[in-house]
Amino acid sequence: MTSEVTYTGDLRTEAVHLRSGNRIITDAPVDNRGKGEAFSPTDLVATALAGCMLTIMGIRARDRGWAIEGARATVNKIMASNPRRIARVEIDIYLPSGKTWTDEQRHTLEEAARTCPVCRSLHPELEVAVQFHWD
């Protein structure tokens, strides 16, 4: 088992990662009758996508002896209605500055991001727009 999620009331949940005991609180967003005081479940989906991209990039980089520590991503999630769903996720990935990146490194890391397990698990109608910033 991976986690346990409990509905605590007032459109909030608490998830516990069973192996580590780490906790995540979710709140319904303000535009869907919630308080918006924590990540919404759909925020976590979009954020998980960016986290997975950076993780897989980190694995590829480590395997090749490249350092990408300090790489970061910003995430913008756009919702649609009828039915309510995530329509688009925009991710900007910023690689550490002060480095010279070869075409091979760029291609390898960009492919790693675009083929991460979360990205491959999302519905094909979900638009994922990724922009890489190399300096």
Mean pLDDT of 90-105: 95
Q: Are 50 and 112 contained in the same domain?
A: yes
Number of domains in the chain: 2
Question: What local confidence, expressed as pLDDT, does residue 108 receive?
Answer: 98
Asked if residue 60 and residue 28 are part of one domain, the reply reads no
Question: pLDDT grade, residue 135 (50/70/90)?
Answer: confident
Let me know whether 67 and 128 are in one domain. yes
The verdict on 73 and 28 lying in the same domain is no
What pLDDT band is residue 132 in, cutting at 50, 70 and 90?
Answer: very high
102 to each of 107, 108, 109, 116, 125, how far by Cα in Å? 9, 10, 11, 21, 33
Same domain as 27, residue 57: no
Domain of 121, CATH number, reads 3.30.300.20
Residues 88 and 45 in one domain: yes
> The domain containing residue 96 runs over which residues?
41-133
Domain co-membership, 119 together with 62: yes
CA angle 119, 12, 90 (to 5 degrees): 30
Please check the confidence at residue 27 and state whether its pLDDT lies above 90.
Answer: yes
Question: Which pLDDT belongs to residue 118?
Answer: 98
Mean pLDDT of 5-29: 98
| Shared domain check, 98 and 121 | yes
Residue 111 has pLDDT above 90, yes or no: yes
Over residues 37-47, the mean pLDDT reads 97
